[in-house]
């Protein structure tokens, strides 16, 4: 069954959220068709319907009220919405730059990472998702393999977020400081923004919708960094 609607959420957000909780990808497409037919601009659909639905879904995931299967389908629904609402998606303007993402060692909270991956694919990134419990060596080795200049490490809690320091140490030890940028994300970084610097991150975004701009900035900085 769907959760009761959250007070203050627009009706369209509640409808989209219900399809996510019910793992109903076809139903979500119908909801989006109806919303688009009313003339709501795509940018408003992302900012005022999709993003609030994902925030609510994240709370349900944190409370263990939705399953892994539901979050997997929710990520696919988000990707479907983005493909239809992000102008660059699927177009010649898509840049296809590689990026490596994953949950840091000992972290298994996959929802945020899946949603970020969906946003990035829709925006034209070539996403290499390493999954959960990713070791620092795996992040760096994959980045070097695919030519990525940005890696994104996700963590839900402070205890696992501190493991990102190991990734920072490895990047520096391999002489990649400045040339391989470290984006960090997860709920804990919204609660404690100072943690970004503490774990050695080069930047974070407040939500999945802001990750594209963050990665573009970090990519530009990395490509402008001098060789050691």
Does 178 map to a domain? yes
Query: pLDDT (tens digit, 0 to 9) for every residue of the chain, 228 residues total?
Result: 444 444 434 799 999 999 999 999 999 999 999 999 999 888 888 888 998 898 888 888 878 898 888 988 998 898 899 888 876 444 434 567 999 999 999 998 888 898 898 888 888 899 999 999 999 999 999 999 999 999 999 998 899 999 999 999 999 999 999 999 999 999 899 889 999 999 999 999 988 888 999 999 999 999 886 655
Does 176 map to a domain? yes
Does 2 map to a domain? no
- Taking CA 151 as the corner, what is the angle to CA 25 and CA 61, rounded to the nearest 5 degrees? 40
**Strands ordered across the beta sheet of 126-129:** 126-129, 98-103, 150-154, 181-185
Please tell me whether residues 182 and 208 are part of one structural domain: yes
124 in Cβ contact with 87 (< 8 Å)? no
Please tell me whether residues 149 and 216 are part of one structural domain: yes
Range of the domain at 62: 11-85
For the beta carbon of residue 173, count every other beta carbon within 10 angstroms.
Answer: 11
Please tell me whether residues 36 and 138 are part of one structural domain: no
Q: Cα-flanking dihedrals φ and ψ of residue 88, to 5°?
A: -80, -15
Please tell me whether residues 104 and 214 are part of one structural domain: yes
Entry pTM? 0.78
d(CA 39, CA 90): 22
Does 197 map to a domain? yes
Q: What is the CATH number of the domain that holds 58?
A: 1.10.1240.10
Does 1 map to a domain? no
Of the three residues 51, 85, 119, the one that is the final residue of a domain is: 85
The number of domains in the chain is 2
Does 5 map to a domain? no
Does 216 map to a domain? yes
Burial zone of 216 (CB within 10 Å; 0-12 exposed, 13-18 middle, 19+ buried):
middle
- Taking CA 196 as the corner, what is the angle to CA 54 and CA 72, rounded to the nearest 5 degrees? 25
pLDDT in tens, 96-132: 799 999 999 999 888 889 889 888 888 889 999 999 9
Of the three residues 64, 85, 106, the one that is the final residue of a domain is: 85
Please tell me whether residues 111 and 193 are part of one structural domain: yes
Considering all CA atoms of the chain, what is the largest pairwise distance in Å, rounded to the nearest integer? 57
């Amino acid at each position: 069954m769907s959760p009761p609607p959250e007070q203050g959420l627009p009706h369209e957000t509640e409808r989209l959220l219900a399809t996510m909780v019910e793992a109903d990808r076809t139903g979500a497409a119908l909801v989006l068709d109806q919303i688009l037919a009313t003339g709501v601009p795509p940018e408003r659909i992302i900012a005022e319907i999709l993003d609030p639905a994902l925030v609510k879904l994240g709370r349900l995931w944190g409370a263990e009220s939705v399953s892994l299967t539901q979050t997997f389908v929710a990520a696919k629904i988000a990707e479907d919405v983005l493909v239809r609402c992000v102008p660059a998606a699927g177009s010649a303007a898509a840049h296809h730059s590689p990026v490596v993402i994953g949950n840091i060692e000992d972290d298994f909270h996959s929802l945020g990472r899946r949603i970020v991956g969906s946003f990035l694919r829709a925006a034209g990134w070539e996403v290499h998702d390493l999954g959960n419990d990713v070791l620092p060596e795996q992040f760096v080795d994959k980045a070097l393999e695919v030519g990525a200049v940005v890696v994104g490490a996700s963590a839900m809690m402070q205890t696992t977020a501190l493991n990102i320091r190991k990734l920072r140490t490895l990047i520096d030890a391999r002489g990649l400081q400045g040339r391989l940028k470290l984006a960090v994300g997860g709920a804990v970084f919204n609660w404690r923004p100072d943690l970004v610097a503490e774990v050695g991150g080069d930047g974070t975004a407040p939500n999945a919708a802001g990750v594209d701009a963050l990665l573009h900035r970090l990519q530009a900085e990395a490509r402008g960094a001098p060789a050691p």
